[in-house]
Amino acid sequence: MKKIIITVVIIIVAFFGVSYILNKNKAENEAKTAIVAEKNAAVSVKVATVKTEDVNLAFTANGNFVPIQELTFSAEKSGKVISVLVKEGDYVKVGQTLLTVRGDVINVNAQAAEAAYQNAKSDYARYENAFKTGGVTKQQLDQAKLALTNAQSNYTQAKINVGDTRVKAPINGYINKKYIEPGSILAGMPATALFDIVNVSKLKLNVTVNETQVASLKLGSTVNITASVYPDKTFSGKITFIAAKADASLNFPVEIEITNNASNDLKAGMYGTATFGSTNQKQNLKVVPRNAFVGSVSSNEIFVVENGVAKLRKVVAGRILGDKVEIISGLNDGETVIVTGQINLQDGNTVEIIK
């Protein structure tokens, strides 16, 4: 009987021991499972700290140089090209003869027109003297004056036609393209293209800036310009145009005029960079990285990490300063903002910060 009692006690103790161990293991497993589940639910993000710092207010914009003047001009008169006096790459000045057109008939007509004019002038002088003595009537004098006027007009037109046989440069610049050769036939309609002339003594750099940047710009302000092919050279430019209306991408076109150097190093089509403002111009501002904003800066929404949870915060953004944005209100120094991973976030999500 005693043996039976001892055996029963042992069995009961063993049962409770096994039950205790099983319950303990179950609790530990549930805790581990909860930790794993929590980690799997967290969204991995990278963060930055809101801080107030000295910020350089200068900013840059890129664009391409275009010539101050460029022209593809055509022949006004038809005819055969006798000689071409310039080649591609030549620099020409206003009024310089670039080519001559055959003008035999034109010259003969001009000589005849000149002779008719001189004759009409002599006739009018005789009629005028005769009228004073009563030798001719007032009507005859008026007819002689009309003949003189017509002859003078014909002679003037003939001289213009002679001038048209020498095609002259309408602007200063370089011959960038030549379309004709001696023997070419110039057509009046449609007009035959002759030359492309490009003036690069001055150039324009066309850039665009955003709404916060355009507010600080003024017409006539000086801008430092660099060209990608001349990184060690700085050119001085002047703002000559600021658009009153933004383009389709909500940026404002700005035009800067640059005087080329003596050797005309800058060429139309080169890539240039304009630096607006002084590099020494700094201001103490509260800033966050530009990529902290959800979508774009104009959204004025940023995720802030609070106790491991992402909270969507409305802020008021100021100026865009390169890769940083001024924060006017909505954030405090030392707060943690999410800079990558926002695409997977919703307000209230648990986050795991990637170092």
CATH of the domain at 269: 2.40.30.170
**In a domain? residue 186:** no
Which value, to the nearest 10 degrees, does the dihedral of the CA atoms of residues 113, 115, 121, 122 take?
-160
Do 150 and 131 have their domain in common? yes
Q: What pLDDT digit, counting tens, does each position of 85-115 carry? A: 999 999 999 999 999 887 554 555 667 777 8
16: its two tokens: 């409770």
Do 310 and 347 have their domain in common? yes
Do 156 and 223 have their domain in common? no
User: Measuring CA to CA, which residue among 295, 282, 354 is closest to residue 322?
Assistant: 282
Cβ neighbourhood burial of 311 (10 Å; 0-12, 13-18, 19+):
middle
Do 263 and 204 have their domain in common? yes
**In a domain? residue 77:** no
Do 137 and 155 have their domain in common? yes
* Contact assessment for residue 315 and residue 330, using Cβ atoms and an 8 Å cutoff: yes
Q: What pLDDT digit, counting tens, does each position of 65-79 carry? A: 999 999 998 877 777
CATH number at residue 117: 1.10.287.470
Do 272 and 204 have their domain in common? yes
Q: What pLDDT digit, counting tens, does each position of 272-328 carry? A: 999 887 666 678 889 999 999 998 888 899 999 999 999 999 999 887 777 889 899
User: Measuring CA to CA, which residue among 89, 68, 96, 67 is closest to residue 175?
Assistant: 89
Total tally of structural domains belonging to the chain:
3
- Rounded to the nearest integer, the mean pLDDT of the chain is 83
Last residue of a domain, one of 210, 243, 276: 276
Note the pLDDT of residue 37.
42
**In a domain? residue 192:** no
Do 211 and 236 have their domain in common? yes
Percent of the chain with pLDDT over 90: 42
pLDDT higher than threshold 70 for residue 36? no
**Which residue blocks in the chain are alpha helix, DSSP H?**
2-41, 104-133, 138-163, 211-214
> What range defines the domain where residue 314 resides?
44-55+282-353
Do 270 and 204 have their domain in common? yes
Position with higher pLDDT, 321 vs 258: 258
d(CA 311, CA 347): 5
pLDDT higher than threshold 70 for residue 188? no
Q: What pLDDT digit, counting tens, does each position of 128-139 carry? A: 888 888 878 888
